[in-house]
Structure 1
Amino acid sequence: MSVTSVTVGIDVAKAHVDVCVLGAKSSAQRFDNDAEGHSALAAALQPLDVGLVVMEATGGYEAALACALQATGLPVAVINPRQARDFAKSMGRLAKTDAVDARTLAELAAVLLRRDDLQRFLRPLADERQQWLAALVTRRRQLLTMLHSERQRLQITPKKLHASIEAIEAAIKAQLDEIEEQMVTHVREHFGELDTLLQSAAGVGPVSSATMIAELPELGRLNRREIAALVGVAPMANDSGGSKGRRRVQGGRFEIRRVLYMATLTATRYNPAIKAFYERLKAAGKLPKVALVACMRKLLTTLNAMVRTGKPWDKSLHCA
């Protein structure tokens, strides 16, 4: 991939996308955010030597476009909006419009294109099976949020209305059971081998496995440092001059980190290797929270190695 390639920034909205192409001939254009618009944009980019396309994650509005562009062979990076904001601030760019945001993303693409670790920004192309699994995982998450909200309302609602809330809770639980059944069946039918591999690690259950398959397709494709940074469990330095700041984890994929946290909590009880590692860290004076994050990182990097090699969990190898 040549560093002289043109770069493309795409600001995604619900109805349309603003596109900025930077290179020998810079241009800006707007397309509809639908199948027809995606095809038109892909056709416009095909004749160009596109080095990288960058867009922000926008709650799902970008998903179909990213897949459409990837399907034509274009390298696409979907980044955290905070990364784009931080980059814009570093450039002294305070104005915010769709066109300005698209240009900022194109300039960020030019920077990323020169990085040795560019690969970690490129998400593998999701096929229809993985897209459907991602939709099921997302819907399950939405139902859990709705259920939590109803339970919170129950505490501040007059008793005469409790029956109404309880009826809604029952309906949500029924939907939750149905979605989880679909999710497990879909994983078993289409990702059975990978699911079995992941669940061979004590602590990783059906939900954790399905979420990783759907939302962490880079698993097994990156090295241990890259996968830890991507998820947000890699300790980041905070040093300046002679002072040494506390290392802390930040950023990354929140939903993956959340299921990894739950899996690790279970692993510290039932996975001998993770349990021994956790106890050793606490015995060394580490705070429980710090020790748990270290265990999250260990579990993640071990799962990453397992997927890369195709070998299931082996407690004789993955000892603390």
Structure 2
Amino acid sequence: MTLHQTVFGCDISKAFLDIFDPRTRRFLRIGNTSEEIEAFLTSIKDTNCCLIMEATGVHDRKLRHALATHGIAFSRLNPLQARRFAELRGQFAKTDRIDAEGLSAFGAIMKPAVSQPPCAERERLAALARRRDQLVELRALEKRHRAEADDPFIVADLDAVLATLNARIALIEAEIDHYTRSCPDLAEHQSRLISAPGIGKITALTLVAHMPELGTLPPKKISALAGLAPFNDDSGPRRGRKHIRGGRRRVRNALYMAALGAIRANTRFKLFFQAIANRSGSKKLALIAVARKLLTVLNAMLRDKRTFA
């Protein structure tokens, strides 16, 4: 991270941004609106500064895009990191102001990596992918209800709802396909990913939409980002089994299913799976190892701009 003289902390909610200025030790609350964000960033754009925030889903969207427009560096933290840092400092109380000051202190001490500016194309694709996932989840729930229903009226109602959900999912998928084709970079990435065994259109969509870092990070970091990196569990002479944790659940789930397909479709992945399973005695562990290996291969494919071979 580039050294910045001023590290602002910003706690974000749906309605407000609470900002801590370390130069004056004062707090500023502004509305989470484009106009008020623009006015604040204009007032600090000539300073050597960085803004630290927690990743808050959609509520930080206006701020991130405005920061990118002004060329102001920012870092989005995992909220768990910020909470653990506050506890390390002995700060157990939690208010918007306390959180903003804590984020500023985290940035000044830990110097986190600067986040990449948002990409409007990829963010829209991610929004479409999330909406598709929501509808698919609703359809799965209604299918379970349909399997348990025996009243003719309820069965008919469930069939009507399922037909509607099928139509909406098809419409979303058509829009995703059209939008991806209209964005050359997204289309290229998706095409390369689909060339790998076990990677279908939906898995490729999930990776392109929810893992923009793919192809830009080393294998260990990209595995950790997906929640597929093994962590030691040792203490003294005890050597515990390594476990995966954290990361992006939607990406991890997609890669887990893709690993099943890769084992069936490709001899190299099948032999790798069998070797790990025989050595560890756990097929689940072996499948996770295949998912991690598959992710490493996909990362190299995008990095080197090549298809699977």
- TM-score of the two chains, using structure 1 as the length reference: 0.88
Q: Secondary structure at the match of 1:284?
A: helix
Identify the residue that residue 17 of structure 1 maps to in structure 2.
Answer: 17
Structure 1 residues 218 and 98: alpha-carbon distance in aligned structure 2, compared to 1, 3 A threshold: same
Structure 1 residues 42 and 281: alpha-carbon distance in aligned structure 2, compared to 1, 3 A threshold: same
Identify the residue that residue 70 of structure 1 maps to in structure 2.
Answer: 68
Identify the residue that residue 59 of structure 2 maps to in structure 1.
Answer: 61
Q: Secondary structure at the match of 1:228?
A: helix
Do the aligned partners of 1:31 and 1:37 also contact (CA within 8 Å) in 2?
Answer: yes
Letter of the aligned partner of 1:54 in structure 2?
A: I
C-alpha distance in 1, partners of 2:175/2:249?
24
Do the aligned partners of 1:187 and 1:210 also contact (CA within 8 Å) in 2?
Answer: no
Do the aligned partners of 1:231 and 1:253 also contact (CA within 8 Å) in 2?
Answer: yes
- TM-score of the two chains, using structure 2 as the length reference: 0.91
Do the aligned partners of 1:133 and 1:183 also contact (CA within 8 Å) in 2?
Answer: yes
Pick aligned residue for 1:165 from 136, 148, 158: 158
For structure 1, which segment, 292-301 or 75-84, has the greater mean C-alpha deviation from structure 2 after superposition? 75-84
Identify the residue that residue 168 of structure 2 maps to in structure 1.
Answer: 175
C-alpha distance in 1, partners of 2:39/2:89?
31
CA drift at 1:154 = 4.0
User: 5+ residue gaps in structure 1?
Assistant: 315-320
RMSD: 2.1
Do the aligned partners of 2:10 and 2:52 also contact (CA within 8 Å) in 1?
Answer: yes
C-alpha distance in 1, partners of 2:280/2:139?
39
Do the aligned partners of 1:21 and 1:27 also contact (CA within 8 Å) in 2?
Answer: yes
Identify the residue that residue 257 of structure 1 maps to in structure 2.
Answer: 252
C-alpha distance in 1, partners of 2:104/2:158?
48
For residues 268-288 of structure 1, give each alpha carbon's deviation from its aligned partner in whole angstroms, at most 9, with x where no partner exists: 211332222111111223411
Do the aligned partners of 2:64 and 2:118 also contact (CA within 8 Å) in 1?
Answer: no
- Determine if the alignment matches structure 1 residue 206 to structure 2 residue 201: yes
Task: Map 1:1-320; keep pairs closer than 5 Å.
Answer: 2-3=2-3, 5-22=5-22, 24-50=23-49, 52-113=50-111, 118-119=112-113, 122-154=114-146, 159=151, 160-190=153-183, 191-314=186-309
CA drift at 1:127 = 2.6
C-alpha distance in 1, partners of 2:241/2:43?
48
Letter of the aligned partner of 1:150 in structure 2?
A: E
Letter of the aligned partner of 2:32 in structure 1?
A: N
Letter of the aligned partner of 1:167 in structure 2?
A: A
Do the aligned partners of 1:188 and 1:195 also contact (CA within 8 Å) in 2?
Answer: no
Number of matched pairs: 306
What percentage of aligned pairs have identical amino acids?
Answer: 34
CA drift at 1:102 = 1.5
Do the aligned partners of 1:123 and 1:218 also contact (CA within 8 Å) in 2?
Answer: no
User: 5+ residue gaps in structure 2?
Assistant: none
